[in-house]
Amino acid sequence: MKTDFDYISENYRHIYAEIAEAKAKYRAVDDNVDFMAVTKTVTPEAVNHAVSLGIKLLGENRVQEYESKKDFYDPSARVHFIGHLQTNKVKYIINDMDLIHSVDSLKLAAEIDKQAEKIKKIQNVLIEVNIGEEESKSGVAPENLEQLLAEIAVMKNVHVKGLMTIPPSQNSEKFLYKMQELYLDISSKNMDNIDMDILSMGMSGDYVKAIEYGSTLVRIGTALFGARNYA
Ligand SMILES: *Cc1c(COP(=O)(O)O)cnc(C)c1O
């Protein structure tokens, strides 16, 4: 785990510049692309250093790791849940998350709806799409997306704000393109109670390409904090 703050500062400036360049090259002037810092395995001190540099958004993968670190985080950053979420863990994070990126089943959405109602919250979520249809990955299959959206649209305490994906590492560009097509197609349907404001895609290896293909939020771990010991 890298905790060298100077190194994080350098990485931050580099990524920030690349995001700005990609935006200028590929996107409309007023398009927004959020830069999320993915915090798994990173110490709260290093996370807070990133926040001091200008990071406003943190991405959490694991409920237990988040629980052990959250009290030490700079409270000025917003927190999103981006990891695979088990239904029995929803209750532990529902209070804190601005957005849950990883909803991929009716069962999970129903549990979020139930827990959000208890605390009188409307929980914003993204639907995770398994765009490469890989067996090893979470996410709803592209052909089942519209039906899942229709089923979640009627829930009172869950609000869909867009889509998230982790494309296959091989041929990633083809899948970024496919994901953009799917996102635009769903947007054009203007489904009741469903917003398509956020397309969360792009990680350390492909964030510039992801911005080219319409991402509005890139999730960066390794390129900012250095290599992890586990994935
Ligand atoms: C770990 C992780 C990232 C960041 O990956 P890097 O390649 O380290 O930038 C982004 N999104 C999700 C869902 C992750 O689990």
Q: What is the pLDDT of residues 159-193, one digit of tens each?
A: 999 999 999 999 999 999 999 999 999 999 999 99
Average pLDDT, the chain: 96
**Ligand 1 atom 12: the closest Cα is on which residue?**
82
Give backbone dihedrals phi and psi of 131, rounded to 5 degrees, phi first: -65, -30
What is d(CA 108, CA 101) in angstroms, rounded to the nearest whole number?
A: 12
Q: CA nearest 124: which of 100, 145, 147?
A: 100
Q: What is the pLDDT of residues 97-137, one digit of tens each?
A: 999 999 999 999 999 999 999 999 999 999 999 999 999 99
Q: Which domains does the chain have, with CATH numbers?
A: 6-225 (3.20.20.10)
Pocket test for ligand 1, best of 14, 40, 79, 82 (most atoms within 8 A of CB): 82
Q: Is the pTM of this model over 0.85?
A: yes
pLDDT at 4: 82
* Residue 15 in contact with ligand 1 by CB distance below 6 A: no
Nearest ligand 1 atom to the CA of 82 is 13
Q: CA 86, 187, 148, 205: dihedral to nearest 10 degrees?
A: -40
Give the C-alpha distances (Å, rounded to integers) separating 229 from 41, 135, 222. 8, 24, 11
* Residue 80 in contact with ligand 1 by CB distance below 6 A: no
